[in-house]
Chains A and B, each alone.
Chain A
Amino acid sequence: MDVLNVEYMLGLVPVLLRYLPLTLQLAGIGMVLALILACLFAVIRVLRIPVLNQLTIVFISFFRGTPLLVQLFLFYYGLPQLFSALTVIDGITATIMGLTMHFAAYMAESIRAAIVGVDRSQTEAALSIGMTNGQLMRRIVLPQATRVALPTLMNYFIDMIKATSLAFTLGVTELMGATQKEAAGSFLYFEAFIVAAIMYWIVVELLSKLQNYLETRLNKAYNR
């Protein structure tokens, strides 16, 4: 075994760091959009809104039932073939679309479960004082469902950050894409990828800290 080229690794850190913001942007934008979509799906499913409910079920089934990589290729290579107007979709947009829909499908189910888990009697109490369905959702159900769903949602977020690495297959030079290029130039594959791995790891660890903090805060109301 050759000796690890530590000097190369240290030199690589500032180079790769420049691509970390794009990785975080892909995941950040993807997460916000996925959350909005997932909440929408969850409410549609809970209220069983006709037609939309069936459409949502099919959507969720498809995006949970097929690999993310296949979905990304469909968005990036497939759709523009079918509709020429969609050739404007670049790798970044296709990645965000794929991440959003893929993770929205998963998150919708955990948000739905969290909503259903909110004590039914509180729903009745809210209705009894004359709240509308919207007020009930906004003021009583969603805040409590958030607390229940938070750990799972954070897990999906962590998963999504790592899934952004698939964007390199669409020619996007984010952290993974940049590492791939560096490694191909230097042939020091282990050094390059271990640096990238550690960067992902640190980001995820920081997020776990944030998760702990949020959980403590949201649990405030439930401590005896």
Chain B
Amino acid sequence: MIKLTSLSKHFGKTVVLDEINLTIEKGEIVVIIGPSGTGKSTLLRCINFLEQPTAGTMTVGNLTVDVNRASRADILAMRRHTAFVFQNYALFANKTALQNIAERLLVVDKWPKEKAYQRARQILEQIGLANKADAYPASMSGGQQQRVGIGRAMAAEAEVILFDEPTSSLDPEWVEEVLGLMKQLASERQTMMVVTHEMSFARDVADRVIFIDGGRIVEQGPPSEIFSNPKDPRTKDFLKKILATNPV
């Protein structure tokens, strides 16, 4: 379970996240939508402490952290409880697909080599890249790289996987294979928070859609409700614009 209480993030005088309150159940698939620059990515990055939140408390699983009193150990623990999938994949360029996935098990969880690589191979099977174990990121397609990025997040067996626009950097031809893998994870009830502009994914996969604008949660609900019957004018306006270019 994830619980955010009054989570805020200010960059100087700019308020990017304005007292976000949010509870996500274990196994829930949450898709976050909203205009660009309204704090969606920042929200995910704060949960993973890639950004230091300005105020609030966060609970992930059995770990609760007051962001203002977070020690270095708290920050590490929070990062280890949450896994992140980056828009630009961010694979370790000096490591093979297998090593990218095993890295966390080896270095952070201190698994013995054999066990870590065995687990990493299992994950490569799951993401359909068993034949790419020894390939370096530079030799893989965008879609393959992002699947490895997701594999790396899977290895963590974290409470939640945070997806930050996972298909936005991809050539159109690779989008489906990445969304397919995410659907597969969703069907296994992996808790997920996904920031995306893929409205069809939101409609088909999400348990809940959250619309964020101006650093606040404007509206949330099951996708059927949000897409067919949005209440707030900002949600209506956003959906009208985005569905015109990305029909569901």
Q: Which residues does A use to contact B, with CB under 8 Å? A: 119, 121-122, 124-132, 135, 139-140, 143-144, 147, 220-224
Contacts and interface: CB of A to CB of B under 8 A. Distances in A.
B92 A131 contact: no
Interface stretch (B29-37, B80-88, B124-132, B240-248): B80-88
28 contacts: A119-B90, A119-B93, A124-B84, A124-B86, A125-B92, A125-B152, A127-B50, A127-B79, A128-B79, A128-B83, A128-B84, A128-B86, A129-B79, A129-B104, A129-B108, A130-B77, A130-B156, A131-B104, A131-B108, A139-B92, A143-B94, A220-B136, A221-B94, A221-B96, A221-B137, A222-B93, A222-B138, A223-B136
A145 to B, nearest CB: 10
Task: Label chain A's interface by main secondary structure.
Answer: helix
A147 B49 CA distance: 30
A19 to B, nearest CB: 40
Nearest to B149: A125
B90 A125 contact: yes
Given A127-B50, A131-B108, A122 B138 contact: no
Nearest to A139: B107
Contact of B86 (A125, A131, A224): A125
Contact of B90 (A121, A130, A135, A221): A121
A124 B76 CA distance: 13
A119 B91 CA distance: 10
Given A139-B103, A139-B107, A221-B93, A128 B50 contact: yes
A131 B138 contact: no
Contacts of A222: 93, 136, 138
Contacts of B82: 128
A45 B48 CA distance: 26
B148 to A, nearest CB: 11
B62 interface: no
Interface residues of B, number: 29
B152 A129 contact: yes
Contacts of A140: 92, 94
B14 interface: no
A223 B48 CA distance: 32
B228 interface: no
B79 A130 contact: yes
A144 to B, nearest CB: 5
A129 B153 CA distance: 8
B139 interface: yes
Q: 9 tightest CB-CB pairs across the interface, nearest first?
A: A130-B80, A121-B90, A125-B90, A128-B84, A129-B104, A221-B136, A130-B79, A130-B108, A143-B94
B93 A135 contact: no
B62 to A, nearest CB: 16
B104 A121 contact: no
A131 B93 contact: no
Given A124-B86, A125-B152, A129-B108, 6 more contacts: A122-B90, A128-B86, A129-B152, A130-B77, A130-B108, A140-B94
Contacts of A127: 49-50, 79
Contacts of B139: 223-224
Contacts of B88: 121
